[in-house]
Amino acid sequence: MKILVPVKRVVDYNVKVRVKPDQSGVDLANVKMSMNPFCEIAVEEAIRMKEKGLAEEIVAVSIGPVQAQETIRTALAMGADRGIHVTADTLVEPLAVAKILKAIVDEEQPGLVILGKQAIDDDTNATGQMLAALLGWPQAAFASKVEKDGDGLKVTREIDGGLQTLHIALPAIVTTDLRLNEPRYASLPNIMKAKRKPIDAKTPADYGVDIAPRLEVLKVAEPPKRQAGVKVESVADLVYKLKNEAGVL
Ligand code: AMP
């Protein structure tokens, strides 16, 4: 089986993002970018499946500017076998990403696509679900455990207040939750080896996909600043404030 893993280049999770003064978006100048953490988990899961003999090849795909190749190299250094880079210098919305991925799936015929449950930049949490719909494939989103189960997979999903276990037939779409695994660090020899692994260069036009945005961002704003706390002198004072100032009693 071949596994396709879409990996997105996003602002590193340690960076405190700054909103642009004109509120049109987030300032990306001189900001550290990395692979989306949920995509790292997806790459790790694909590698573990390959190590268990459940897959023969892992293909990492990224849609984005030329620097997205670094994100693919990271996946290759972790253990993916080859990459596909689809160049896009403008923001690509989830529907366009899903359409490009659908065209790649039609070409590559993987048995499984593992995506992150969401990209931590736009938090849309939509691409995997849209891809499943476009392909007409079963999907198991927010996976916290993936096991082989006969001809398909048994997937444990994190849902509100508990866990749900599903059996899905292959080919299928899985999206990763935080607790699925802990991604490995690439070793230096593997980083060197990754430089020789192939990355195909493509464009959205190669797949016949128009990436013009369908959504208009009206405004991006910072969350309101938290008010400083106050120290109360006594329990009576606390109860008074909860009643009369916070209005929660
Ligand atoms: P989103 O639906 O934008 O929250 O992203 C969910 C997942 O879709 C990510 O974790 C990636 O696996 C995949 N994805 C989204 N955008 C891209 C992209 N530009 N290139 C590659 N994969 C992507």
d(CA 112, CA 168): 11
Highest mean pLDDT (candidates 26-35, 71-80, 157-166, 231-240): 71-80
Peptide bond between residue 213 and the one before it cis (omega within 30 degrees of 0): no
Say which range, 122-126, 215-219, 243-247, has the weakest mean pLDDT.
243-247
Cβ of 127 closer than 6 Å to ligand 1, yes or no, is yes
Residue 224: is its pLDDT beyond 90?
no
Q: In the predicted model, what is the mean pLDDT of residues 233-242? A: 94
pLDDT for 160: 87
HSE at residue 4, side-chain half, CA atoms within 13 A, is 25
Q: Kindly give the distance from the C-alpha atom of residue 99 to the centroid of ligand 1, in angstroms, as a whole number.
A: 12
Specify the ligand 1 atom closest to the Cα of 125. Answer: 4
8 lines ligand 1 (CB under 6 A): yes
HSE-CB at 213 with a 13 A cutoff on CA atoms is 7
Dmax over CA atoms of the chain, in Å, equals 70
Q: Residue 150 region, left (φ>0) first, then alpha (ψ -120 to 50), else beta?
A: left
Does this model's pTM top 0.95? My answer is no
- For the Cβ of 88 lying below 6 angstroms from any atom of ligand 1, the answer is no
Q: Give the model confidence (pLDDT) of 60-114 as tens digits.
A: 999 999 999 999 999 999 999 999 999 999 999 999 999 999 999 999 999 999 9
Ligand 1 binding pocket includes 143 (Cβ within 6 Å): no
Q: Please choose from 11, 84, 97 the residue to mutate so as to test ligand 1's pocket, defined by most ligand atoms within 8 A of CB.
A: 97
Q: Does domain 2-224 have CATH number 3.40.50.620?
A: yes
